[in-house]
């Protein structure tokens, strides 16, 4: 079997992410994960949140990786589906949306679409959880985030760490507000939006 892709960051952050999901996703329901990447979060988190139907999604090229991780004992994730946030979304509504480390990879215009379409596919009283690095008051929260942002822009100048306030504004346009902003390891945050 071909060696499956592996993200050390996903291994490092899965336990703290679980703690936040356990707090904010207590009611049973369906969770759509956007930009699931390797599929490590889907495989591990789904097994520890058995009251959730965990639906991983990503661009088509990543679906084979996600399927490989799903064969892990303990994974309860549903088979992954293709979702480019700029294209057709699955019908929904979803009780929860979760995305990790995607807002600095997508161009800002795609982040806007992701938030708008995500909110429109979110159930009433649903929650949208966003993990990743953010700037506050136009400032980096660490030197490592500053260096990371420079590296992202060197690769593609549409990429970059977003301002938390700008993200909050995009959600406000869809009548969703910031319910919580959790400090996470390695200068990341987990933002929770709802109504
Ligand atoms: C840095 S990876 C993060 C993967 C995983 N969530 C994690 O935390 O390890 C960024 C992910 O965003 C996805 N992505 C980028 N543009 C996207 C788009 N337009 N629609 C959906 N996913 C997208 C990529 O395919 C990739 O899986």
Query: Tell me, what CATH number does 165's domain have?
Result: 3.40.50.150
Q: By residue range, what is the domain housing residue 144?
A: 8-20+28-98+119-188
Average pLDDT, the chain: 96
Strand partners, 129: 98, 192
Cα distances (Å, whole numbers) of residue 69 to 14, 29, 129, 142, 155: 14, 22, 22, 32, 28
Q: State the pLDDT confidence band at 3, using cuts at 50, 70 and 90.
A: confident
Mutate which of 88, 102, 186 to test ligand 1's pocket (most atoms within 8 Å of Cβ)? 102
Count of alpha carbons within 13 angstroms of residue 88, beta-carbon side: 5
- Whether the CB-CB separation of 114 and 129 falls below 8 Å is answered with no
Tell me, in angstroms, the distance from the centre of ligand 1 to residue 175's CA.
Answer: 25
Distance CA 145, CA 149 (A): 6
In degrees, rounded to 5, the angle at the alpha carbon of residue 185 between the alpha carbons of residues 184 and 191 is 20
Q: Tell me what pLDDT residue 2 has.
A: 57
- Ligand 1: atom nearest CA of 85 is 20
- Ligand 1: atom nearest CA of 83 is 21
Q: Tens digits of per-residue pLDDT, 153-185?
A: 999 999 999 999 999 999 999 999 999 999 999
Q: Position of tokens 């600095």?
A: 104
Tokens of 116: 């708008």
Q: What percent of the chain has pLDDT over 70?
A: 99
Distance CA 107, CA 157 (A): 9
Distance CA 74, CA 85 (A): 28
Q: Tell me what pLDDT residue 56 has.
A: 97
Q: Tell me what pLDDT residue 4 has.
A: 85
Query: 195 lies in a domain?
Result: no
Q: Which residues line the pocket of ligand 1, CB cutoff 6 A? A: 7, 10, 34-38, 58-59, 62, 83-86, 100-102, 105-106, 110
Total number of domains constituting the chain: 1
Query: 75 lies in a domain?
Result: yes
Is residue 46's pLDDT more than 90?
A: yes
Average pLDDT for 81-95: 97
Distance CA 152, CA 112 (A): 19
Q: Tell me what pLDDT residue 71 has.
A: 86
Query: 2 lies in a domain?
Result: no
Instruction: Give the chain's length.
Output: 195
**SS3 assignment, position 134:** strand
């Amino acid at each position: 079997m071909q060696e499956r892709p592996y993200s050390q960051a996903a291994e490092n952050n899965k336990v703290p992410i679980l703690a936040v999901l356990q707090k904010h996703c207590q009611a049973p329901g369906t969770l759509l994960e956007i930009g699931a990447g390797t599929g490590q979060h889907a495989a591990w988190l789904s097994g520890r949140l058995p009251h959730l139907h965990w639906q991983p999604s990503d661009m088509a090229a990543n679906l084979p990786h996600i399927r490989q991780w799903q064969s892990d004992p303990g994974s309860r994730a549903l088979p992954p589906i293709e979702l480019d946030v700029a294209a057709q979304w699955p019908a929904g509504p979803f009780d929860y949306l979760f995305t990790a480390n995607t807002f600095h990879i997508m161009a800002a215009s795609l982040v806007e679409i992701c938030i708008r379409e995500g909110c429109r596919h979110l159930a009433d009283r649903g929650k949208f959880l966003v993990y990743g690095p953010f700037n506050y008051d136009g400032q980096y929260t660490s030197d490592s985030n500053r260096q990371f942002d420079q590296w992202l822009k060197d690769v593609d100048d549409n990429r970059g760490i977003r301002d938390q306030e700008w993200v909050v504004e995009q959600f406000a346009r869809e009548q969703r507000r910031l319910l919580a902003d959790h400090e996470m390891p390695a200068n990341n945050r987990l933002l929770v939006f709802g109504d």
